[in-house]
Amino acid sequence: MTAPIPAHIIKQHLIDPEICIRCNTCEEACPVDAITHDSNNYVVNVDICQSCQACIMPCPTGAIDNWRQVMSDRAYTLEEQFGWNELPDAQEFSEAQAASAATLPASSLASVDGDADGDLDGVASTSAGASIPPWSAAHPYLNLYTHKNPVKATVVGNYRVTDDDTESDIRHIVLDFGDQPFPVLEGQSIAIFPPGVDGAGRPYHARQYSIASPRDGERPSYNNLSLTVKRVTTDYDGKPVLGAASNYLCDLKKNDTVQVIGPFGSTFLMPDHEDANLIMICTGTGSAPMRAMTERCRRRLKTQAFKGRLMLFFGARTERELPYFGPLMSLPKDFIDINLALSRSAATPKRYVQDLIRERAGDVMTLLESSKTCIYVCGLKGMEVGVIDALREVVSQHGKQWADVHEELRTQGRLHFETY
């Protein structure tokens, strides 16, 4: 029997609940499932975290990059962290305490218990997407405005982009920043604070939305941007629930103001070389970044600065519930190859985006074989597995190994997911 190791100072990894926008990126990035969440907070399990830092870079806000020195036998529990509205103050340690033990990462707790070897070799990230942008992506501005200094934007438009008599109320909301700098790139997101408090009396967290307009503005050379927001009226189980943030945004009127933080996102960015190809795969409001990228290419086409190919797979219940259906269908066929997957249309059999990827296998493979092609997937979480499976089939039908192609796409920053 080994003697117990005396308590010592550890560096505990924590998430700042004030800044966190609950985007789930850290939970997805953690290779050892140390990060979890409840309806209030995202938290780190000190018994599992190995301080590998895989979650640090992908976090859009920096909320993830917080560390506290604590005694190993008094590390913050999950229950404590779930209840926080802000991080606890840093603890003071006497010189003697500090001198008696070196500061160790939190994972040393697990080693004390003998249930982790601390060896990170062979731990692969579970994320299917790349953690770097394509080589030619423009450099993004990040976190110019935080929860401590949000910027006020004015609503200059709020238009429904699905048919009025359908269940899906999806809005195109245009925000103007006036003279305040808010530089963005296609694929980035912002977050908005809904006013008011939740059932427990806490102010609502900021909610994240992808930007639907290109870098030079919804209206070219205006300091504005657009969002695609769906009014949430049910929870995941179909029970009636009014989403606080989405209903607030969908009800905004012209000249209302909103509190914005961001911009966020340093990897889901489009290539800037003129002959790059984009395969865009989305469902519903996941079309926002695809609209931004498509419009960027359309504007560049006018000055012969875009020579690539665009292929879009877009899933919606029906044509009438597909946001931006009219403007999308009026884009020239030789500019963008549009594939609509309708799941509840009376006129056509049920289709998901992954079905259409299979149907267009030959053309998808032609694009995949080019190192100039980047793939973007945005929308429902459930489609992630389906899309990967479809791409695997396409690749293997053409005599290649998905593992090899996938690795190349990831290491070259050419495959990106944003799902929710």
Task: Measure CA of the first residue to CA of the last residue in the chain; give whole Å.
Answer: 48
**313 in contact with ligand A2P (CB under 6 A):** no
For residue 325 the two structure tokens come to 């259906």
Among 343, 361, 366, 398, binds ligand A2P (CB under 6 A): 343
**One-letter amino acid for residue 311 of the chain:** M
If the CB atoms of residues 264 and 314 are measured against ligand A2P, the closer one turns out to be 314
**210 in contact with ligand A2P (CB under 6 A):** no
**317 in contact with ligand A2P (CB under 6 A):** yes
Pattern 111-150, ligand A2P, x by CB under 6 A: ----------------------------------------
If the CB atoms of residues 145 and 209 are measured against ligand A2P, the closer one turns out to be 209
Among 51, 208, 224, 283, binds ligand A2P (CB under 6 A): 283
For residue 134 the two structure tokens come to 């394509």
Shortest gap between Cβ of 1 and ligand A2P (angstroms)? Answer: 51
Pattern 345-374, ligand A2P, x by CB under 6 A: -------xx---------------------
If the CB atoms of residues 184 and 391 are measured against ligand A2P, the closer one turns out to be 391
260 to 279, contacts with ligand A2P by CB under 6 A? none
Rounded Cα distance, 186 and 175, in Å:
15
**284 in contact with ligand A2P (CB under 6 A):** yes
Q: CA-based diameter of the chain, in Å? A: 77
Among 120, 371, 382, 401, binds ligand A2P (CB under 6 A): 382
Q: Please state, in angstroms and as integers, the Cα–Cα distance from residue 54 to each residue in 33, 49, 365, following that order.
A: 11, 11, 31
**168 in contact with ligand A2P (CB under 6 A):** yes
Of all residues in the shown chain, the one whose CB is closest to ligand A2P is 382
**Rg for the chain, CA atoms, rounded:** 23
383 to 412, contacts with ligand A2P by CB under 6 A? 383, 386
* Continuous segment of H or E residues that includes residue 287: helix 287-301
Whether the Cβ atoms of residue 287 and residue 323 lie closer than 8 Å to each other: yes
Pattern 4-43, ligand A2P, x by CB under 6 A: ----------------------------------------
Own/partner contacts of 388-391, CB < 8 Å, gap of 24 or more, are: 388/128, 389/354, 390/354, 390/355, 390/357, 390/358, 391/357, 391/364
Whether the Cβ atoms of residue 211 and residue 188 lie closer than 8 Å to each other: yes
CA angle 177–183–189, rounded 5-degree value? 90
Where on the chain is the footprint of ligand A2P (CB under 6 A)?
168, 283-284, 315-317, 343-344, 352-353, 380, 382-383, 386
